[in-house]
Amino acid sequence: MAYEPSESTGDGDGTDTTALALKILVAGGFGVGKTTLVGAVSEIRPLRTEERLSRAGELVDDTGGVDRKSTTTVAMDFGRITIRSGLSLYLFGTPGQDRFWFLWDELSQGALGAVVLADTRRLEHCFPAVDYFEHREIPFVVAVNCFAGARAYGAHDVSRALDLDPGTPVVLCDARDRDSGKEVLIRLVEHAGRTYAARLLDSVG
């Protein structure tokens, strides 16, 4: 299992308490809510690398369904959230457009797992992220961002539409809501923990 470097803190009585920091990716298609999710849950001011969409970019970026979006992430988003005492998550939001996918390999180094955000109005846009993490055996959950006015689908319907591997969690969320986003991250940490434990048992068996 891969972790980000941890911090060692003293509790005043000579006992060494280690704070665990886990690296999590937030991925998905263009305009699906990755920057919004990172910003909503982060307890620090999030780092954003957004630039305004240009006319030149219209030739290569698919903005169908998100016509009102005026900016795009060109490198990554970064935030941090403390799940409980001694456990923090470092969140790295990936860029959504095809032309920035070369950054994904660098961002995925050392990641515990990933959240793949999905929009049921443009569900096909999250296929590349699903394929990426499945092929690299990085545990992930699919988080359906429930946009206003979008047709509601159940988790089972989304799982079938994406042809997910058995056991891959699908959760419904609101990327703007901190508590909702935090629940998604907790589900991911739990799923990743079970996945790595099962792999460890297989390797020693």
- Per-residue pLDDT reduced to its tens digit, 148-160: 777 889 999 999 9
pLDDT > 70 fraction of the chain, expressed in percent and rounded: 75
Residues 98-125, mean pLDDT to the nearest whole number: 88
pLDDT averaged over the chain? 83
Task: Please state at what angle helix 178-204 crosses helix 34-41, rounded to 10 degrees.
Answer: 100
63-74 burial: b if 16+ Cβ within 10 Å, else e: bebbeeeeebbe
Return the H-helix or E-strand segment holding 187. helix 178-204
pLDDT at residue 68, rounded to an integer: 52
pLDDT at residue 150, rounded to an integer: 77
Residues 160-172, mean pLDDT to the nearest whole number: 96
pLDDT at residue 149, rounded to an integer: 77
Residues 113-123, mean pLDDT to the nearest whole number: 95
pLDDT score of 18 more than 80: no
Q: Do 75 and 106 meet the contact criterion of CB atoms below 8 Å apart?
A: no
pLDDT at residue 97, rounded to an integer: 62
pLDDT one-digit tens code per residue, 46-103:
887 655 544 544 444 455 554 554 455 445 899 999 998 999 999 999 886 666 667 8
Residues 174-192, mean pLDDT to the nearest whole number: 97
pLDDT score of 123 more than 60: yes
Angle at 131 between CA 129 and CA 136, to 5 degrees: 100
Residues 111-120, mean pLDDT to the nearest whole number: 96
Residues 163-182, mean pLDDT to the nearest whole number: 96
pLDDT at residue 38, rounded to an integer: 95
Selected residue with higher pLDDT from 24 and 12: 24
